[in-house]
Amino acid sequence: MASSSNDATPTTLFDLLNNSLLLRTITPHLPVASLFALARVSKSFFDLITNSPDAFRYLDLSAVRSAAAPSHKPLDSGAITWRAERMDEALTEDEFYSGPLRGIFSKLQRRNLLKNVYTLVLDGLSVPADLVREIIAEDRFNVRILSIRECTHLNERKLMQVLKYAVRPTRPSGSPRLKGLYVFGSKDPSPFTDAIPKPQRSPPRTPENIGGVMASQGAQIGAEWNQKSSEALNTALARSEHKWYQTAGRVLHRRPSPEWAETLKACEGIIYFDAVLCRGPRHDIETAYTQGSTPHPKSFLGPAVANVALGPTGCQSCHSCPEGPAIFGKSPATHLPLLSPPPLCSSTVQAAQRPSSVPGSPPPILIARCEECLRGRWCERCNKWWDEDCYFGSTSSNAAAMTLTAMQQAEQLQSITNENGQPSKNIKVHMGLCTAQCLVGEMMAGAGSAGMWG
């Protein structure tokens, strides 16, 4: 006999979480403290949280108070046990600064949870390179995607050695388990910022908030709308909301060193990063100019990390690029950066590289270059650029122009203008600005203030 609807048992929270798919989807959105609080509710919740491989698959410790190592205060409770065990031994500096996280990892290991962590986010925490080595090399860890953006006490040179060692040709088969590393980008704003209450104080007094036109509410709303509409336009043109796919200019907060490029090269196809190597034709010995000893605009360049996102339009003349754009699903995975934030519900490189896209439109395309490839052929203000086939380029860059005096800059500008005072059409970029648009704007501004171009 069929039971009436009144007899049906209502679905409980436990029933929902007992479904591994739902558990895997919901738990990354919960702060770790809430997960442990849930485990304390009852024996069945405890068993569910501690025995399911999905509850701790994604672990974000970046907002966990006990994971942080304040530099001028004694280490907090997360590390007390760990330190107490080690007080009789001489602590190295690295061990001291990794104490809080080691404390948390040993706690998770004792509860048999550490092996379940596949995506580990440690952004902004104190993470010495030795700790990264342990996460990559030790069997107690199973981490596939690791995020260590803006970490402190992280010796980058040592980190690069750790990575190169992990991918050495003689490494054991199946190693390293780590497949993706977020290290170049900025950390994401934490959804759990409530976990660390910030002291409230009034904003600092600046000329903007003391008074003046920009202080009016209308002006601020206007500026905010301008910012929002420019972001919306950029997203619509790029067909993706990720900075790497947009005409965003410099996307990394600092320019990665040549040693990082060598490290990415060594890790190619084994560990993927939140940045890629520049594929400009000058980095390829087959396509670069290698004749003679004098510097040439197309001469060979060593590996470099791409840090400038040029958007989908391509070169201003041919609307493409010699190396071809990178497209998710078509290009090799080594051409695609891991996108921020690290994926919540999957721990694969593919999920981390998949860009958001506008339904019904073709997949977004990515063109990114290193700054050396773009020297003299990229406008740093509007991000228009010309490739090696369409424009020979000039060697002047903003960096070079910075060292010139105002008089020398004015002389340089005059030297590239024709008798009508307009920039020569043969020169597309001068001092980091496109001559057709941004440089003219600069000259007009100069005419207003100094009268040099009036």
Which residue, 240 or 383, is less far from Zn ion as judged by CB?
Answer: 383
Cis amide linkage into residue 53, ω under 30° from 0 = no
Which residue, 161 or 437, is less far from Zn ion as judged by CB?
Answer: 437
CB of residue 321 to Zn ion, shortest distance in Å: 7
Which residue, 354 or 381, is less far from Zn ion as judged by CB?
Answer: 381
Q: Which two structure tokens, joined as six digits, stand for 36?
A: 């442990």
- Shortest CA distance to 276 belongs to which of 308, 315, 249? 308
Residues in a beta bridge with 181:
146, 273
Which residue, 412 or 437, is less far from Zn ion as judged by CB?
Answer: 437
Which residue, 185 or 280, is less far from Zn ion as judged by CB?
Answer: 280
Question: Rounded to an integer, what distance in angstroms lies between the CA atom of residue 366 and that of residue 360?
Answer: 18
For the chain, the residue count is 454
Which segments of 220-358 are extended strands (E)?
A: 249-250, 272-273, 308-309, 326-327
CB of residue 361 to Zn ion, shortest distance in Å: 24
CB of residue 379 to Zn ion, shortest distance in Å: 3
Cα separations in angstroms, 310 against 115, 156, 313, 381, 402: 40, 27, 8, 12, 23
Our CA dihedral for 390, 281, 256, 337, rounded to 10 degrees, sits at 100
CB of residue 378 to Zn ion, shortest distance in Å: 9
Which residue, 211 or 332, is less far from Zn ion as judged by CB?
Answer: 332
CB of residue 214 to Zn ion, shortest distance in Å: 25
Q: Which two structure tokens, joined as six digits, stand for 258?
A: 């040549």
Provide, for the chain, the percentages of residues in helix, strand and coil under a 3-state DSSP scheme, each rounded to the nearest 5: 40, 10, 55
CB of residue 238 to Zn ion, shortest distance in Å: 18
Q: Where does this chain bind Zn ion (CB under 5 A)?
A: 278, 280, 304, 315, 317-318, 370, 373, 379, 381-382, 387, 390, 434, 437-438
